[in-house]
Structure 1
């Protein structure tokens, strides 16, 4: 019986790759010192250094300034990123309608995201469907990070459901899928062509719209 569905944020609900590209275009256009190199060169190098979000931006900006000789302080660029990224947050297709469908089925909905609380919270709210969630957890504010089972159990306590009654949906094969399954939840992989598929999972989503049918299959069992 599925009573709750819990989501990751980046790469699952938030299309971080598309959002980052939109932010970088805007940052480049607004800051003249960056325009000493072509926009494509700036964006491509940022994305390479960023490693899909796993390198924090102070280091990314330090490297960019060192490599290209920008007459800027890394703190200035980091503050601009911190404030500006939220304005370019983009959800994956069908995210909102899928969440509405889960709510219509009276399922509890939660979010567990690794990262800085203030930054991730702003990006999450910018997607426009935060009011559909019952509980939200950001790792910095909890002092826990995925794949630690404790962070999944903390969410289960908040939603008042047992592990076997909850499904976790995320793109990372270890932090999201393996981590949630180790904590006793069903772990569903949001497909990402750049990541290796998890060894074990409880379903694969090519499109968020497919989650409703997957859950209906479980509810019929």
Structure 2
């Protein structure tokens, strides 16, 4: 019997791709010079590639971009990072059907948790901008506990806080290694949310996979 459901945040509960697209244009409009709309789109693509779906430090991104972009005003690295961390969460949007699914599981008295890699300030800001904090019994941001997915210990901490056994919990995420491999090795039932990352061919095929969060309501 499933007593707890634990979610990844970026591209699981929150549509990070959509949020990044909007944030990137705000950054471009503030700092980058362009004369035609096509140039604006090219810079957006450069930013998207440099970001690597969030799996890269902002220091690295700035160092790469600082000499290749047509800056109308080039910020210091501190200003760049501050702008990113303060502005990005404001564009947070929930994944399709996320709120409906969360509310239904709460109605069923299933415990809910979040495990997300990332910085404390940014990830908590995203959660607050989404307005979903009140639905969750436990939230873990990797920088808070100094353990990052796919390390199984971060999953074990969540299970202990929620007071459930591994076999009594499901974990849902989009990343084949960080989410699915990590949760599976921690003894949990892992469900892969498709559509954001290609499956890693070095891994065994996931036991369960979904295209939309709403499918969870029938699986769990």
TM-score of the superposed pair, with normalisation by structure 2: 0.92
1:86–1:122 CA contact under 8 A, matched in 2: yes
| Matches for 1:111-122 after TM superposition, within 5 Å | 111-122=114-125
SS at match of 1:35: coil
Q: Which runs of 4+ in 1 moved over 6 A?
A: none
Hey, what's the Cα distance between the residues in 1 that align with 2:91 and 2:105? Answer: 26
Hey, what's the Cα distance between the residues in 1 that align with 2:192 and 2:24? Answer: 28
| Matches for 1:23-172 after TM superposition, within 5 Å | 23-29=23-29, 31=30, 33-36=31-34, 38-70=39-71, 71-72=73-74, 73-172=76-175
1:186–1:201 CA contact under 8 A, matched in 2: no
SS at match of 2:68: helix
Q: CA deviation at 1:60?
A: 1.1
Q: 2:184 aligns with which of 181, 186, 198?
A: 181
1:147–1:174 CA contact under 8 A, matched in 2: yes
Hey, what's the Cα distance between the residues in 2 that align with 1:108 and 1:119? Answer: 24
1:171–1:190 CA contact under 8 A, matched in 2: yes
Unpaired runs of at least 5, structure 2: none
Hey, what's the Cα distance between the residues in 1 that align with 2:118 and 2:59? Answer: 14
How many aligned residue pairs are there?
A: 213
Hey, what's the Cα distance between the residues in 2 that align with 1:155 and 1:194? Answer: 24
2:20–2:91 CA contact under 8 A, matched in 1: yes
* Higher mean displacement: 55-64 or 81-90: 55-64
Hey, what's the Cα distance between the residues in 1 that align with 2:205 and 2:197? Answer: 18
* Higher mean displacement: 65-74 or 180-189: 65-74
Q: CA deviation at 1:131?
A: 0.7
Q: CA deviation at 1:151?
A: 0.8
2:151–2:182 CA contact under 8 A, matched in 1: yes
Hey, what's the Cα distance between the residues in 2 that align with 1:74 and 1:175? Answer: 28
Aligned to 1:214: 219
Alignment deviations for residues 61-114 of structure 1 (CA, whole Å, 9 cap, x no partner): 222121125241232222111100111011111000000010011000000001
Aligned to 1:7: 7
Q: CA deviation at 1:194?
A: 3.5
* Higher mean displacement: 74-83 or 197-206: 197-206
1:178–1:200 CA contact under 8 A, matched in 2: no
SS at match of 1:153: helix
Q: CA deviation at 1:175?
A: 1.1
Hey, what's the Cα distance between the residues in 2 that align with 1:65 and 1:41? Answer: 16
Unpaired runs of at least 5, structure 1: 216-221
